[in-house]
Amino acid sequence: MSTVSNAPSTKLRPPFRADHVGSLLRPQSVKDARRRHYEEKAIDAEELKAVEDEAIRSVVRMQENAGLPVVTDGEIRRSFWHYDFMGELQGLDLEERDEGVQFHGVKLRPIFPTITGKLDFPDDHPMLEHYRFLAGATDVMPKISIPGPSCCHFRVAKSDIHPKEYQDAEALFADLAATYAKAVRAFYDAGCRYLQMDDIFFAYLCDPKHRAAKAEEGQDPDWLIDRYAWMMHEAIKDRPDDMVIGMHMCRGNFVSTYAAEGAYDPAADAIFNKTGVDIYFMEYDSERAGGLEPLRLLPKGKKRVLPGFITTKVGDLEDLEDLKRKFDAASQFADIDQLGIAPQCGFASTEEGNKITEDDQKRKLDLVVKTAETIWGGVDK
């Protein structure tokens, strides 16, 4: 693969000291336009896009004004952080049913991914154009976040995997890896040099309840962790030298609730040493995340961990001195030079968004930048 860069001109390159996972609260204008388009059929797709375009330009300015060296489109055009991407893959459809996935005290909207044919990444996947629009709207580093390959297995029930050949999990994993390798190439060709692939199910497989559920299905959770790492590695191993891959791992995020808990220990070695990922966004905003000890498995070198000590689930602002103490603790397990700061998750993993305000969101991002400046002397040091 060619390593000639056609990325947008930018002064700073990842990894950064200050970053964020990707999703941002949807402004009311977008919520209203989506309702008018999808439910009321009162406006067409172009009118919806025009509203989304303006909202994305606005959130890009907000991120730039906060001093962030990297911006996303806030996933403004999506309903879900993962299903919108997955539903546009060849061979994977989204079905609406009666009952959604259970989170802590609330259920997700009843959308279920179903594998109906041979998997592939289409040349006209809409998120390629989403990236191009973002890149044209900023002078700093544009980043797009997509669900990692594990999502297309973990979130699909065995009964919803219809092709006969995919009854063999290894065959399914091989095609998922190939599909994602094609996606990585396509985003690179679109100019993307910072791609985030969120494989949150590494964290789910650290939860005793989720581990037990997979075991009941006849799937060894530790084997799944290993195969999920293999898929990610295969998907990104041939990326050009000037393309950086990030990976977010959390325990669920839907209107400020969660779906899993447990320390990263069972998956840490696979995460750090088997995926080939460059930057790790790790949830560390509550006791549900366990201790910092798994960071000791981060190999010395250029890899970077962004522990999410700043939560997106509530609006209360963290104390800077407390954040400094937490980084002191983290540096007992990983070199401080291999650390940075990001919020623990996105602000709106679904279009409903977390139970915080846009002002809360802005103050959190401002704090990310301030923390980086305080600890490392800048967002790119």
Per-residue pLDDT tens listing for the chain (381 residues) = 434 444 444 458 999 999 999 999 999 999 999 999 999 999 999 999 999 999 999 999 999 999 999 999 999 999 998 999 999 999 999 998 766 544 444 445 688 999 999 999 999 999 999 999 999 999 999 999 999 999 999 989 999 999 999 999 999 999 999 999 999 999 999 999 999 999 988 988 998 998 999 899 999 999 999 999 999 999 999 999 999 999 999 876 665 555 667 889 999 999 999 999 999 999 998 787 789 999 999 999 999 999 999 999 899 999 999 999 999 999 999 999 999 999 999 999 889 888 999 999 999 999 999 999 999 999 997
Residue 59 lies in a domain: yes
- State how far the alpha carbon of 290 is from the alpha carbons of 182, 207, 287, 364, in Å: 35, 11, 6, 22
Residue 89 lies in a domain: yes
Residue 34 lies in a domain: yes
pLDDT of residue 84: 94
Alpha carbons within 13 angstroms on the beta-carbon side of residue 190 total: 26
pLDDT of residue 349: 87
Residue 354 lies in a domain: yes
Residue 12 lies in a domain: no
Residue 260 lies in a domain: yes
Please state the domain count of the chain.
1
8 A C-beta contact, residue 179 and residue 149: yes
Closest by Cα among 279, 271, 190 to 231? 271
Q: Provide the domain limits for residue 209.
A: 28-376
Residue 14 lies in a domain: no
What's 240's domain CATH number?
3.20.20.210
Residue 184 lies in a domain: yes
pLDDT of residue 103: 44
8 A C-beta contact, residue 72 and residue 142: yes
3-state secondary structure of 256: coil
